[in-house]
Amino acid sequence: MNNAWHHPDQLLVRMKEEDWSGPGVNLKGAFNCLLKAAAKSIISEAFRTIINISSIVVGSWQPRPGNYVASKARAGGTHQSAARELASRHITVNAVAPGFIETAMTQNLPEKVREAMLAQIP
């Protein structure tokens, strides 16, 4: 799964190198689940759609934590690249980016950030 990593929320200038590479599971998950497993298993199927979970932080104003945002953006690029590559085999690839969800990861966000994210929901 490419959305399975819980990140520490800290500024890039305070982040250690191992913290930066921590969310690599987002990209590895997209590669292993999306490209290796799903695409190979459905090439001969009649219904060929891959739906992956993304994040609202891709392309959003959310600046922190930079390692999480960067990893989600890289996974998003993987989705787009896979969609173009697999289109010739009549396989569609889509990424769903849910809006703000109350989770353990979001419960410690500052109230101002939470309010700004909730204000974006129609």
Band of pLDDT at residue 1, cut at 50, 70 and 90: very low
Structural domain boundaries enclosing 78:
12-119
Residue 5: inside a domain: no
Choose, from 7, 22, 30, 68, the residue flagged as catalytic. Answer: 68
Residue 84: inside a domain: yes
Distances (CA, A) of 69 to 9, 59, 61: 11, 9, 10
CA distance 1 to 25: 8
Residue 68 is a catalytic residue: yes
Residue 77: inside a domain: yes
Q: How many domains does the chain have?
A: 1
What CATH number does residue 50 fall under? 3.40.50.720
Residue 103: inside a domain: yes
Residue 2: inside a domain: no
* Model pLDDT for residues 39-69, shown as the tens digit of each residue: 777 777 766 888 887 777 766 656 667 777 7
- What does pLDDT average to over the chain? 76
DSSP string covering 70-87: HHHHHHHHHHHHHHHHHH
CA distance 71 to 40: 24
The region, left, alpha or beta by phi > 0 then psi within -120 to 50, assigned to residue 59 is left
